Amino acid sequence: MKSVQYMEPKNGETLVHTTIIRNIGLLLTMRQDTNDLLGAVAHAAVVMRGPRIIYAGPEKDLPADYRSGGTCTEIDAHQAVVTPGLIDSHTHVVFAGDRADEFQARHAGADYEEIQRLNGGIHRTVRETRAASYQSLRAAAIERLQSMRRHGTTTVEGKTGYGLEYAAEEKVLNVMRALADEPYLPDVIPTFLGAHIIPAEFRNNRSLYVQHVIQNMAPAFQAQARFCDVYCEASAFSVPETKAILESARALGYMLKMHTNQSHDIGGAALAADLGVISADHLDYVQDEDIQKLAGAGVIATLLPGCSFSMQTAFPNAHRFLERGAVVALASDYNPGTCNCENLQMIMALAVAHCSLTIEQSLQAVTVNAAKALALPDRGHIAAGKRADALIWKIRDYREIGYHFGVNLVDQVIISGAVL
């Protein structure tokens, strides 16, 4: 338990709206400067002015002048749990169509990589996304983001990678830019994943596609995407191809991410450590020595147990990462093929039940650690000066999360100071 400071509003901020959450039973600040993993404060209050938090701490220490200047809304949390907004640091939220039939076929015995080889799987979503209008892609993504928000997600990383040609990748990035400007939706952080798979028309000339990514698409999209990501896997891009794409992307100013070691170990995790990418994602099949290298390089290990659940494959064991000093994030990998789930509460439940994470570690993994996976230090914990993203839960004991699964335990969502 600890107290936190009050930040004076700066000049020019005096007329913005103030929101105060009172009567919080347990505030999980997720601050990292204490021995308590959750940075918990009992009988707490949070004050937000405009898009920023200005006070978080014991209600009895609430500054007397928190209402000063402008309008004020008070929310009674009725002794419930309050946490930072959840951060989904790996999604493919913009796409057309769905693959429910393939999902059911896989569970009836069909093989994922065989479906893909026959131009289903990602290739099918690529065809549908290329054919879809900007408007329809945007409308579908808004619906998904609204669902994510209802389940407590306030920041969503979104990848391209269902265009795989200049115009379609650009269309998806334009949709993400428009989504980022939508009020009351989770903040959308765009990632360029032109190297998702080799598109069907380049199947017999993969090096030409790699050159297209490096020479044409990555330079053109740098201003619109925070990260460049590559799917480094036996069925996607090799280690040398991944290295060439990511090194050129870094030179262009992108921060780097990798999908790697999902189904095989072809050396991607070691490359992620060598390159010092921000996050390496999946890591279902990875050797201990590569985990050690990732930890040493400060690469965030993002685990995606929703994929393991949906694909009926082995869950990653987070304990292997934690005992080697790696920082673990959790994300949904929301996508039409291998994890059609907008609900990070469900992902936390899977992590607790199958990945040997405690609920406290899972909460860290979708807040502070997920913020690190996006290199966004302004969020993921509740403290003065941070983004005003928070959740008021329906529960008074945070250990209900994961225990009471498959339902939505979030009551109210606050995004950038707006109460929803």
The residue ranges that bind Zn ion (CB under 5 A) are 333
Three-state SS at 126 = helix
The residue behind tokens 């103030």 is: 18
Residue closer to Zn ion (CB basis): 179 or 232: 232
First-to-last alpha carbon distance for the chain, in angstroms, is 28
Output the smallest distance, CB 92 to Zn ion, in A.
Answer: 6
Output the smallest distance, CB 161 to Zn ion, in A.
Answer: 8
Output the smallest distance, CB 333 to Zn ion, in A.
Answer: 4
Output the smallest distance, CB 308 to Zn ion, in A.
Answer: 13
- DSSP H helices, 122-238, are 122-131, 134-150, 166-181, 206-212, 218-221
Output the smallest distance, CB 339 to Zn ion, in A.
Answer: 8
Residue closer to Zn ion (CB basis): 241 or 333: 333
**Strands 328-330, 72-76: parallel, antiparallel or unpaired by DSSP?**
unpaired
Residue closer to Zn ion (CB basis): 59 or 333: 333
Position 102, amino acid: E
Residue closer to Zn ion (CB basis): 46 or 351: 351
- DSSP H helices, 205-287, are 206-212, 218-221, 239-252, 268-275
CB 185 within 8 A of CB 153: no
CB contact burial 117-132 (16+ within 10 A = b; e otherwise): eeebbbbbbbbbbbeb
Could you write out the DSSP letters of every residue in 77-113? -TT-EEEEPEEE--B-----S--HHHHHHHHTT--HH
Residue closer to Zn ion (CB basis): 233 or 333: 333
User: What are the tokens at 76?
Assistant: 């009674």
What is the DSSP code (8-state) at residue 357? -
Residue closer to Zn ion (CB basis): 95 or 321: 95
Residue closer to Zn ion (CB basis): 81 or 172: 172
**Side-chain half-sphere of 283: how many Cα atoms within 13 Å?**
38
Output the smallest distance, CB 87 to Zn ion, in A.
Answer: 16
Output the smallest distance, CB 420 to Zn ion, in A.
Answer: 27
Residue closer to Zn ion (CB basis): 26 or 331: 331
Q: CA–CA separation, 352 vs 347, rounded Å?
A: 9
Output the smallest distance, CB 159 to Zn ion, in A.
Answer: 7
- Find the angle CA(367)-CA(371)-CA(372) to the nearest 5 degrees: 120
* Residue whose C-alpha is closest to residue 245's, from 260, 230, 224, 233: 230
Query: Kind and range of the H or E element at 229?
Result: strand 227-232
Output the smallest distance, CB 262 to Zn ion, in A.
Answer: 8
Output the smallest distance, CB 259 to Zn ion, in A.
Answer: 5
Residue closer to Zn ion (CB basis): 132 or 197: 197
Within 8 A by CB and 6+ apart from 210, the residues are 195, 237, 241, 244, 245
Closest chain position to Zn ion (CB): 333
Q: CA–CA separation, 204 vs 174, rounded Å?
A: 30
Q: CA–CA separation, 6 vs 84, rounded Å?
A: 18
The residue behind tokens 């057309």 is: 96
Residue closer to Zn ion (CB basis): 122 or 410: 122
Residue closer to Zn ion (CB basis): 309 or 393: 309
Output the smallest distance, CB 335 to Zn ion, in A.
Answer: 6
User: What are the tokens at 103?
Assistant: 């999902």
Q: CA–CA separation, 344 vs 306, rounded Å?
A: 9
